Every structure is written in structure tokens, then in C-alpha cells.
Copies of this chain bind each other. A is one copy, B any other.
Amino acid sequence: MKRYEEVAATIRQRMEHGLYRAGDRLPSIRELCGEFAVSISTVQTAYAGLEAERLIEARPKSGYYVLPRSAPPVLPGVTRPTQRPLDVSQWDHVLNLVGEPGAEHVISLGRGIPDVEAKTLKPLFQQLAALHRRGHAAGLKYDSLAGSPQLREQLARLASSSGCLLHPDDILITTGCQEALSIAIRTLTVPGDVVAVDSPSFYGSMQILKAHQLKAMEIPTDPQTGISQEALELALEQWPIKAIQITPTHNNPLGYTMPEARKRELVALAQRFDVAIIEDDIYGDLAYRAPRPRTLKSFDDDGRVLLCSSFSKTLIPSLRVGWIAPGRYRDQVMHMKYVSTGASATLPQLAVADFIGQGHYERHLRNVVRQYQRNLDVVLGWVQALFPLGTGVSYPQGGFLLWVEVKGLDSVRLNERMAASGIQIAPGSLFSASGKYRDCLRINYTQASSPMYDALVTVSREIALMQAEQAAEAV
């Protein structure tokens, strides 16, 4: 942490602990210079940062004052998706979001991309370079179909931190989490089958259902505790559901983590109805508080949970290194992996295995998690300050995605209208089979930079404009 960040952090803490309250005048710059033994410019930078976060304000000729703490975010209520199995639509909008990487000048608030410029990634790049430079035969041919043993060993070791006892042979390496999910779905279903999903749900897994002519049974989901067990049970009684596909930890897009008791209940429910669970744990390691939450898999005693994950959110997406722990479905999943992409690329696996083995992974996680958590508070503050009154906001316990609900908003149109200004959001409708949640949007807060603030200002102005136009039309 830089000096000015330390100063800001201390001030922030004192405000949180009530030492400085709303309306209080803060110590002068000179006083803080003395207290922290730092330069004037260091304190100025610290205060400027807190000002940008809307925590304090400068009053001309008077000094810095603590701003009133905004009310806790209004969380959107339990979702109310359609209560029958649906075909999945929305591909055109998803393609719009994921089709192109986004030009230099586009500010993508919408995509699920971590901070790929974090300093703590450096050893990974060095290792990747070293492995590729050598170009010796090992690592150039087809890898073991299950994936490099070195990486599977490290993954088995890491799994214990989520309460999971896995042997390296319980894990198969995939081409990203997307392949893990796709293989899981294809292993468990045939066209026409129904899959229960949390709702809203990651568009990538919803589109798998579409591609294979499956139906999505969207289950009402509480933005704090996750999928409704009661609604899921009703659905399981009523429909021939083959699998439950769910992201129970640091959910995308809602941010919640299911409490442990509910995770345990969910596994029991799946046992009772004898259905498989596809658990997407891709954000699981990005917990703001240690230890990281347990996986559903950790409660699975009869091998019905297929745990899917990757390093796309914790390291970098373009590695395309993911994995699946398929439980009792191992043989079918292995076959499906072979026919889907053959063995995965070897060198990225070896590089990641080394990165983990040498302790760089845990160091990197600590680094980015601290950053994301800090940014969450900043960006939350911005959204509350800028967006219309009554805007609902999620409060993630990990990851880097914020869910925002603006009553009456058409987020698809909002996105279209902002295309010209080079700002891209993820409209909420992507996360529903039938395009619900159109009044929501998902925001990436890996950065809490001033371009990010400016982008949110632009978004909020556009929203205000749209609301004004609507009001005018209504008259």
C-alpha cells in the first residue's frame, strides 16, 4: 500500500468506528502531516481520494468535513421469474456483450473481467514465458486427457480450503469454466430436458441450455441467501428436472453467498429428488473474508455435485484453464471432454501449477481481494449518490460484480443509447431466459478509477434523461 493509501485507510477506519461523524470537521492537512510524518502532498492525495469516494467534502477556506453516511443499500427483493420451464432467448444481446473484446476507448462496465494488470500476476507471466521459450518436447504434444497431474495436485490441495476432500484424480482440467459447465450439462441431459437455475443466472450457462434445446426452470432467488429452497422443491415435484445449475458463492450477478446451512439443505434436497447439481464456483476464491465459503461439493457425500471452476476470474481469462470435479459422473465427463476439445493446452497448466505451488496464487488473491473490497464501497457510494432515489443495489461478499435495480429502467435501451459514448453495461435481461430483469444492470467494479466515476456519471445522466422522456410521454 502506498503511503497516501495508508493515511486514507486510517481516516476511513476512524469514520467507520465513529471517531469522526457526519458533519465533523476533519483534522487539518498540517495536523495529519505531523501525525503520520508524511508530506503535505501525501495528505492532500489521501483527502482527494476520500472526496472522490464521497466520504468527505472540502469546504472552501474551512477544511474537510465528513459527509452524511448514505442509507444502507436497498437490496432488490426476491426475484419472481416465470414459474414454468422456458426456452432460453437473449442470444443476440449476449453476443453484443461478449462478441468483441471491446475497443481501447470503450469503458466496459459490463464484462466479468478481473484486474489483469495486478502486479501480483507478474510471476505467472514470467513462468509462462520461460515455459514457452524452452519449446522442448514435454508440453508440446497432447497432454494427459485429465490434465497435467501437477495442476490437479495443486487444485486438490486448494480444494481443502473450501471444505472439500478431493484427490487429483477427482479433477479434470477443462478449457475454462465454460467448457466445464457445457460438459456437465451435456453429460446430464438430452434435448427437451429441464434444468433448474438460480434466477438471475449467468448468461453463459443459460445459453448452453439454449444451444442444446434444453429448458430453463428459473427459481426465485433471494439476493442475500440465494435460490429459494421452497420454490425449488415445488419445481422438483412438478417438473422432470434433470439437474440444478447454480452459482452459490459470490453469485454472478447477485453477489450473495448462500449460508452454509442452506448449502447443506440444497444438497439434501437434490439427494431426495435424485438430481445432479452443477455448482459454478468461479468466484469462490475471491472472498472478502477468510476462510473462503464452503462449496456445495463439500457437503456432497454421494458424488452428485459436479463442481465447475476456472482461473478466469482469479487470474486472467485468456489462460482458458478451468476444471471440473465431476463426482460419480467422472467416466462420462472424461469422454465428453475428449470429444469436445481433446486434451487441454499443457503449458498454461504447468505455469499455473507453479504459480500456486510457489505461493503466488494466495498472495495474488490477497492483493486483488483487498482492492475489490475497497472498490465495492467506493462504487457503491457512487451509485447511491448518482442513481435515482430508490435504486436497489446488491452487497457482494466477494468477487467484483454489482447488481443494480432501477425501477422502470429499460437497460437494453440504456445500453444502446450509451454505445455512442463508448460505455457498455450488462443489461439485466441477459440473466433471464425470457429477458426479465430489464430494469437491472450489472457493473464490474474491479476499477474504482476516475474514468469509472465519469462513466457512472454518464450512465446516471442517461437514466435521468430516459426517465424524463418517459414522464413527458406519459403526460
Contact = CB atoms under 8 A, between A and B. Distances in A.
Interface string A307-350: 00000000011111000000000000011101111111111100
A191 B212 CA distance: 10
Given A133-B129, A190-B213, A207-B339, A141 B182 contact: no
A95 B142 contact: no
Contacts of A348: 345
Contacts of A121: 135
A208 interface: yes
Contact of A116 (B129, B132, B141, B204): B141
Given A125-B134, A129-B129, A132-B125, A347 B318 contact: yes
A417 to B, nearest CB: 24
A143 interface: yes
Interface residues of A, number: 67
Nearest to A98: B145
A468 interface: no
Given A190-B191, A320-B344, A341-B176, A133 B144 contact: no
A135 B141 contact: no
Contact of A345 (B132, B142, B182, B318): B318
A354 interface: no
A291 interface: no
Interface of A: 91, 94-95, 98-101, 111, 113, 116-117, 121-122, 124-126, 128-130, 132-137, 139-146, 175-176, 178-179, 182, 186, 190-191, 204, 207-208, 210-213, 316-320, 334-336, 338-348
The 9 closest A-B pairs by CB, nearest first: A125-B135, A129-B133, A128-B132, A116-B140, A178-B342, A175-B341, A140-B316, A211-B339, A129-B132
